[in-house]
Structure 1
Amino acid sequence: MTRSVGVIGAGAIGLGTAWHLAQQGHDVSVSDPRLNQSVDRERSANELSGTSASLGVLMGHVFRRSSGRGWRLRLRSMELWPQWIETLQAHQPDLELHPGLLQIAKDERTAERMESIAAQRVDLGLQMVANTDLVAVWPTAKHGGLHSRHDGRVDPILLQLALRQALAKQSVELNAAQVIRLERDHKHWRLHRANGDSSIHDVVVLCTALSSDVLLEPLGHARPMTPVLGQALLLQLTTGPTSWRNWPAVLVDQGFNLIPTAPGRLLLGATVEAGDRASDEPLALMRNLNKRAPDWLRLATVIEQWNGLRARPVNRPAPLLEQLEPGLIVATGHYRNGVLLTPGTAEWVATAIEQS
């Protein structure tokens, strides 16, 4: 059954959900003030959304748990990503799924856990790598690492561009006015916008991260979020590797993500502190990786740095995927994994609408 669906939020989750629903034939609109802005990182760091600030890391198959909603959502998203990328390349040919993720074991206990995961998930492309085989890539690795052949990275900027273009091609309405209030209207929902306009929909999907509670509290639904700051650096190497031929798309050490982008250049990023203000200390921490960074990383020159806020649900597991009442769906609070979980979240929303 075709429904009128109002999606609030234009990050990866909002745009991806809207695109998936439009493909299924629903009448979809997207509302977010960011739709008036270009998709880039040129604005002030404090204005960046979680998606624009993210590095697009896909840590799906290396997830430490082997059951539960989080694992199922990751597994399904990783199954869907190749198809999503292939379809969206019609709009952004440079959009790719960059495969290969290497997670460094910080100690012997972590290495043992990784060995167990690798043994269970051989069919998913996981295998342990001995520290002797990592010398050329990461000389500070003393306990080996876990390599995932299919995890990796998607460029979040190209992803947003592709999704916006795909939505425009499907004649999805992109409304840059802010939604300030939701109102029950018999069996429908009315979206009130800051410019005085309103629209009525059968279903509303909130993908609004830190703004979700403002819209939900007046309806009697408390879903508080806390801001968590992610920070990133673009580095130019002055010494060290001259090519990344032996590197995976993503190397992860102690939660810090290193991503080669060009000869002598790489991205370094992590979600390193709570709150909404960046400090110099986490940036210094990222440069030395708790004194485990190779010399060439500590000596690299910073070309660019930015930060962005991620929404972490308070006293609830991330993400929030709930139908709070008929026609009111929440799909937000993905914390570190917004890009990774976009396809699985979109599919979950579509199923929730079908079953409502």
Structure 2
Amino acid sequence: MIGAGAIGLGTAWHLAQQGHDVSLYDPRLNKSLHREGSANDLSGTSASLGVLMGHVFRRSSGRGWRLRRRSMELWPQWIEKLQAHQPELKLHPGLLQIADDEPTAERMESLAAQRVDLGLHMVSNADLAAIWPTASHGGLHSRHDGRVDPLLLQLALRQALAGQSVALNATAVVRLERNDNHWRVHRADGDSSVHDLVVLSTALCSDALLEPLGHARPMTPVLGQALSLQLTTDPTAWSNWPSVLVDQGFNLIPTAPGQLLLGATVEPGDRASEDPLTLMRSLNERAPEWLSSATVVGHWSGLRARPVDRPAPLLEELEPGLILASGHYRNGVLLTPGTAEWVAAAVQQA
């Protein structure tokens, strides 16, 4: 298993639980999991806010919908098991999407009618007034979507892997070599090892390992940024707030009285905006006064890998014993359980 973000860690854990001998490679494995002040060298998982947008997905068919729905079914089981290693890890349920305009509101109403059994319902402007007074077209509430803390998730998975006797190698893999019916994994420290199968969850590093083998799966970087905010005015208690509020693609997440995370995947490329306050200004003047006047106490960014000319994520057996599970773009945390299950099935058939 190469790559130890949420997908790599979760897949390694799932495979180990099924009795497979697993080795995990990633140079970040010997680094602590934290965000200090302003950071721009974080992995996609560590930079993310762990938002789970599963049931509000607009499509009702296809692989993307099946993967989201299955992941949402699996998350409660995963959390229950991982709490043995990290008791503070939990699902934070409740996600509210604000409608941008009337056509969006109509699509939301249709989706809510189709998915009553999944916990979706519309919220009126009157009901939104207390928490998001700038809403003018209502919103869609999802009872089971929400958030998982991505740092606690990675910590719990690392601890679970240690308990499963998974070999954790904090070294970069620089080359893959076919070796009869096996794969030789060459590491940056000059050492190598032989494995029956290789699973790649290496995001933007995938191409460097795949191109020499004749597989072109290019991905482009898309920058995600997040702010940690301290409010100077109400609402400091977050009464009646969901775990996640989404407006125009921006995620707002209350974390403590008077404290809030604000984030979005908004910028192509790999360079952060110099002024983090532009994130708040990008709410197109629909930010409530209390948000506009908040103090920035932290700012970080990370790169998401978006497949080029292919739908995300990339889930493929490229050749016997070589499996790609990467390019999840903005949904790595959400799709971790479903991806792990897919990889396990592919390994079983290999």
Hey, what does 2:278 align to over in structure 1? 284
Gap runs ≥5 in structure 2: none
1:184 aligns with 2:186: no
288-297 or 175-184, which deviates more: 288-297
1:138 aligns with 2:127: no
Residues 306-353 of structure 1 show CA distances to partners (whole Å, capped at 9, x for unaligned) of: 000000001100000000000000000000000000000000000011
SS at match of 1:345: helix
- Among 6, 12, 16, the alignment partner of 2:10 is 16
SS at match of 1:45: strand
1:217 aligns with 2:211: yes
- Cα distance change, pair 188–95 in 1 and its aligned pair in 2 (3 A): same
38-47 or 341-350, which deviates more: 38-47
SS at match of 2:284: coil
Hey, what does 1:307 align to over in structure 2? 301
Residues 250-295 of structure 1 show CA distances to partners (whole Å, capped at 9, x for unaligned) of: 0000100000000011000000100010113674143451110001
Conserved 8 A contact 2:228-2:298 = yes
104-113 or 281-290, which deviates more: 281-290
Q: Distance in 2 between matches of 1:322 and 1:283?
A: 40
Q: Distance in 1 between matches of 2:137 and 2:300?
A: 32
Hey, what does 1:48 align to over in structure 2? 42
SS at match of 2:33: coil
15-24 or 285-294, which deviates more: 285-294
Hey, what does 1:271 align to over in structure 2? 265
Using the aligned pairs only, state the percent identity. Answer: 82
Using the size of structure 1 for normalisation, the TM-score is 0.97
SS at match of 1:66: coil
1:200 aligns with 2:194: yes
CA RMSD of aligned residues (A): 1.1
Letter in 2 for 1:128: M
1:353 aligns with 2:347: yes
Letter in 1 for 2:24: V
How far off is 1:240 after superposition?
2.1
Hey, what does 1:84 align to over in structure 2? 78
1:294 aligns with 2:278: no
- Among 233, 239, 242, the alignment partner of 2:227 is 233
Conserved 8 A contact 1:288-1:298 = no
1:257 aligns with 2:246: no
SS at match of 1:165: helix
Letter in 2 for 1:57: V
How far off is 1:40 after superposition?
1.2
- Cα distance change, pair 76–350 in 1 and its aligned pair in 2 (3 A): same
Conserved 8 A contact 2:280-2:292 = no
Q: Distance in 2 between matches of 1:249 and 1:146?
A: 14
- Among 153, 162, 165, the alignment partner of 1:159 is 153
Using the size of structure 2 for normalisation, the TM-score is 0.98
Q: Distance in 1 between matches of 2:239 and 2:79?
A: 23
Letter in 2 for 1:19: W
Letter in 2 for 1:29: S
Q: Distance in 2 between matches of 1:237 and 1:208?
A: 37
Letter in 2 for 1:167: L
Hey, what does 1:337 align to over in structure 2? 331
Residues 85-110 of structure 1 show CA distances to partners (whole Å, capped at 9, x for unaligned) of: 00000000000000000000000000
178-187 or 278-287, which deviates more: 278-287
Conserved 8 A contact 1:269-1:286 = no
Conserved 8 A contact 2:41-2:301 = no
Letter in 2 for 1:342: T
Letter in 2 for 1:303: V
Q: Distance in 1 between matches of 2:74 and 2:252?
A: 24
Letter in 1 for 2:238: W
- Among 170, 192, 195, the alignment partner of 2:164 is 170
Letter in 1 for 2:28: R
SS at match of 1:65: coil
Conserved 8 A contact 1:287-1:297 = no
Q: Distance in 1 between matches of 2:343 and 2:227?
A: 34
SS at match of 1:238: coil
Hey, what does 2:27 align to over in structure 1? 33
Q: Distance in 1 between matches of 2:236 and 2:334?
A: 30
Gap runs ≥5 in structure 1: 1-6
How far off is 1:38 after superposition?
0.6
